[in-house]
Structure 1
Amino acid sequence: MEPIAPLLQRPKLSDDDPMDNRNKFSDLPEPIIHHIFSFLETIDVIRASAVATNWRFLWTRMPHLSFNGGGSWLEPSRQELTDVTVYERYKDLINWVLMTHDKSVSIQSFRLVCRNNDDDHSVYRWINILAQKHVRELHLQVTSQTETPFTLPRYLIASDSLEILGLELHQSVLTIPSHVGFSRLKSLKLMDTKLLDQVLFQNFISSCPLLEALSLRGCLFHDFKVLDISLRNLRKLVIDNGYCGDPFEEGLRECDLKIACPNLVQFTLWGPLAKNISWDKNPYSLQAAMIFSYSWEWDELDDVSLHEEFADHMLKILRGVCHAEVLTLQMSILEYIHPAVARPECFTTFYNLKELVLSILMLEGHLQSLIYLMKCAPNLQCLSVFIEEYESACDYILEIPDEAIECLTCHLKRVKLIDIGYYDDHDLELIRFFLKNGHVLEEMSIIWLKHLKQEFRRETTQEVMRFPRSSSNVTVTFSEPTQFGWNLSENYPKQI
């Protein structure tokens, strides 16, 4: 019999020098190391140069540079330094890196957090160097303590290499040269930026012939009468003014929105509704649309005719995205379009729609709008419904009439109901409706509300399992909520 002691011994560790593993890593091809280091701050790449002899000057050949503005690299001495001194040393670091960077290596991407004050033009000097280094991707986060406008320098606009530009200006003004645009730019992202001239901005983006992605997040369109986005090659458009501070929270409230982008693939509209919206030909290639628009005036509208007028305005937005394959809607949309449910001729048909994601309150108007949207989507295959909490929504008996809806009869295969448990009987009625009327349903996924008692879950599960089902193939599953909850955009394509 084999002795037990040897079997209990720990496996013998390798006699190899642990330095060998480090050497194996340092011997990787330089392009692979560059890719790995591209996820690090530049100061950390410089520190890593001490790890291996052949890395000593690696940072000077890095095509990806990033300076996040933090002073952690000065610890522990930072506590003894003033903010001005810390920032001066930060500028010294950037100057040193750019001056010693290998002249034969182009900079593919550059990320920078910095300041822009009247007496400091460092950022423009750095941009000039980057333009000479043929930078392809540039992301700037600029803060001005003196409310100094940030000007797009002509030597950057004249660059024939820049393809991606992101600017976050912390509510500062962006000054745009007249009648000039980027000849090679494919992606433009403006965040927290104040735009003062409607004509200049329209001319500017129209002068970017290759632009494929445009993102306007938290921008203030000062004195704009119309925000005109007319770009033939644009594929992704994001207009997001949700959760902005005053006065940026105004968004498009005081101007019209015109969209003429025939090749649009993704569209996101988030924030206060524009005064009006117009589409110059609906984008037939649209794959995904997300509408999270709202109005501060809605609750103040008592006139029924004004509610109908508002519904027509919202339906105009939906008609523009009628070719989408994936549509995500915030619950206010269901409330706004409800006055038009009695006028079916006002609705458009979403023939291409395969997936619908939305949030609702358990209110009769919301549910009627949901049912009507399903009637307008005959080829719908997947439906995800996030049920918002609203106390007064429980003050009535909910009965959803059974009816033949084309998508339920022929195509709807998956239904996901999120945050089940707040409305009790109302939730059960919604589940019953889909199981009874979903003739080709394959999966009903029920995700519980957080912190529900086990007894309630057990009773609800038993009740659901007794419901009649039109589909013999449907599987009903019950799941715990995710740690961080659920949001409408989790299944939406990656944003720019």
Structure 2
Amino acid sequence: MESIASLPKRPKLPIPSNDVDPIDPGNKSMNDLPEPVVHHIFSFLETIDVIRASAVSTKWRYLWTSMPHLNFDYQAGWLNPLRQEFSSTRVYEKFKDFINWVLMAHHKSVNIQSFRASCLNNDDDRSLYRWIKILAQKHVKELHLKVKSYKRGPFALPRYLLAPDSLEILELDLQRSVLKIPSDVGFSRLKSLQLVRTQLLDQNLFHNFISSCPLLENLRLEGCLFHDFKVLDISLRNLRKLFIDNHMCGGSFDERLRKCVFKIACPNLGYFHLKDPYAQNFSWDKIPSLLQTATILPWGWEDAVLHEELANYLLKILRGVCHAEVLKLAKAVIVPNSFFLMSPQHLYPAVAEPRCFSTTFYNLKSLKLFTGIDKCYIRSIIYLLKCAPNLQLLSVYIDEEEYDCDYQWEIPDEAIACLTDHLKMVKLIEVDNSDYELELIRFLLKNGHVLEK
């Protein structure tokens, strides 16, 4: 192994006298903290900085060797001085030496709680797989890897990582490389799986893999490509969060979800996010009765696609989230604990007709809209109010975008359950006193019998 003498050296400190720790007495409370607390504080630092901190106190001199959290990033600040003297290849060799040195010096009796690394993966270099093998032997619980392959070579998920049955969180950012998944095997204790900028080649292998993770609660697929997927079937009984966002994945249009049949069978789902060209078909196999938050962002549809087709697609999703407490229809604003959809003009052709949409949101307490204001939008808003008999808060973020609508319609003069009994607050944001806005305000003031603000 090469010397790491080129790394920043530990600063020289005066020799302590009378066995007094050379730490500022004003900060002595930090030195007196229990070791687990110090470990937690140091877990937010790069490992190189933890080693530097060991020079501050004699009590911490070897603390880094028992750190359960290891963080390595070859683009971190400790490499900047080396870039002035060495080529990028030479710098990365020293980075690998540093990781090897830390893993070899790490206390044998201490398991590794989490390991984070930004590194390279080349065909002629097995360093990454050697690190993973050591981590498996030390019963790692969290593994976060950002792996770049210059030749876009595949990253094979090692089987020996599955053997110790300890991993609970796995996050892989493969920078658009292929993930090779073991056949018919998964992680029996895995609770969170995140794949970022990853290419997936086999729908059956992927389905079998996630199905072999019975405790999985969080599944995040961000910037992934699904090559030749005909069906994306996510059937996980314990799944709580499902996040799919492929709008910036960089692959071809059809490698996302455009030609997939997207099936979800997650009865305990509480959070749902989808941003991708819409799948060929969408279905809820089981209605998630615990769903609190959903994010649906349609985009990438050709101009030839009718609003009715998009509306029908969205309505399939709406029917599956009828238990939501907060409903949001918007374009690009994310608010915590909210249900998130596209602008109402996409829903208008169907939602404005009761015979097309009969879902009632009995649990809905807050409705948030980001929308333009004309007669089409207002009609959709009022019909949505009819679908939410227990609504307490209505927020409308008014956009200047206009939607050309040929429907002949006037604001109805009728009682609506939520306006009569429950709606207490209305927020209208970015109002510019247009005729349609004033009509909406008159309607709400006239019919909001329990309106307080």
Which bracket does the TM-score occupy, shorter chain normalised?
0.7 to 0.9
Q: Which residue of 1 aligns with 2:317?
A: 317
Does residue 1:349 correspond to 2:353, yes or no? no
Q: Identify which of 434, 449, 472 aligns with 2:444.
A: 434
- Report the residue type matching 2:446 in the other structure: K
Write out per-residue CA displacement over residues 313-354 of structure 1, whole angstroms, 9 at most, x where no aligned residue.
221111111111222333435222211135313221111122
Deviation at 1:141, TM superposition (A): 0.9
Write out per-residue CA displacement over residues 14-66 of structure 1, whole angstroms, 9 at most, x where no aligned residue.
xxx98202322111111111111111111111111111110111111111111
DSSP 3-state at the match of 1:70: coil
Q: Identify which of 314, 319, 336 aligns with 2:346.
A: 336
Write out per-residue CA displacement over residues 136-170 of structure 1, whole angstroms, 9 at most, x where no aligned residue.
11111111111101111101122311111111111
Q: Which residue of 2 aligns with 1:479?
A: none
The CA RMSD over aligned residues, in Å, is 2.5
Q: Which residue of 1 aligns with 2:384?
A: 373
- Report the residue type matching 2:419 in the other structure: L
Does residue 1:180 correspond to 2:191, yes or no? no
Structure 1: runs of 5 or more not aligned: 1-16, 443-473, 475-496
DSSP 3-state at the match of 2:290: coil
* Partners of 1:243 and 1:363 in 2: CA distance: 32
Does residue 1:254 correspond to 2:264, yes or no? no
1:242·1:249 contact (CA, 8 Å) conserved in 2?
Answer: no
Q: How does 1:277-296 map to 2 (within 5 A)?
A: 277-296=282-301
1:190·1:217 contact (CA, 8 Å) conserved in 2?
Answer: yes
Relative to 1, partners in 2 of residues 1:358 and 1:120: Cα closer, same or farther, differing over 3 Å? farther
Does residue 1:406 correspond to 2:417, yes or no? yes
Relative to 1, partners in 2 of residues 1:402 and 1:180: Cα closer, same or farther, differing over 3 Å? same
1:291·1:328 contact (CA, 8 Å) conserved in 2?
Answer: no
What TM-score comes out, normalization by structure 2 length? Answer: 0.86
Deviation at 1:246, TM superposition (A): 3.4
- Report the residue type matching 1:210 in the other structure: L
Structure with greater helix percent: 1
* Partners of 2:156 and 2:428 in 1: CA distance: 49
* Partners of 2:31 and 2:200 in 1: CA distance: 48
Write out per-residue CA displacement over residues 330-387 of structure 1, whole angstroms, 9 at most, x where no aligned residue.
3435222211135313221111122223321224323322222221111122233322
1:341·1:368 contact (CA, 8 Å) conserved in 2?
Answer: no
User: Sequence identity of aligned pairs in percent?
Assistant: 66
Q: Which residue of 2 aligns with 1:157?
A: 162
DSSP 3-state at the match of 2:198: strand
Q: Which residue of 2 aligns with 1:488?
A: none
* Partners of 1:382 and 1:290 in 2: CA distance: 19
Q: Identify which of 355, 363, 369 aligns with 1:358.
A: 369
Deviation at 1:401, TM superposition (A): 4.8
Deviation at 1:231, TM superposition (A): 0.8
Instruction: Say how many residue pairs are matched.
Output: 420
Q: Which residue of 2 aligns with 1:274?
A: 279
- Report the residue type matching 2:317 in the other structure: I
Q: How does 1:27-42 map to 2 (within 5 A)?
A: 27-42=32-47
* Partners of 1:271 and 1:363 in 2: CA distance: 28
Q: Which residue of 1 aligns with 2:18?
A: none
Structure 2: runs of 5 or more not aligned: 1-21, 332-341
1:291·1:330 contact (CA, 8 Å) conserved in 2?
Answer: no
* Partners of 1:318 and 1:295 in 2: CA distance: 20
What TM-score comes out, normalization by structure 1 length? Answer: 0.79
* Partners of 1:36 and 1:345 in 2: CA distance: 58
* Partners of 1:95 and 1:414 in 2: CA distance: 60
Write out per-residue CA displacement over residues 190-224 of structure 1, whole angstroms, 9 at most, x where no aligned residue.
11111110111011111111111111111111100
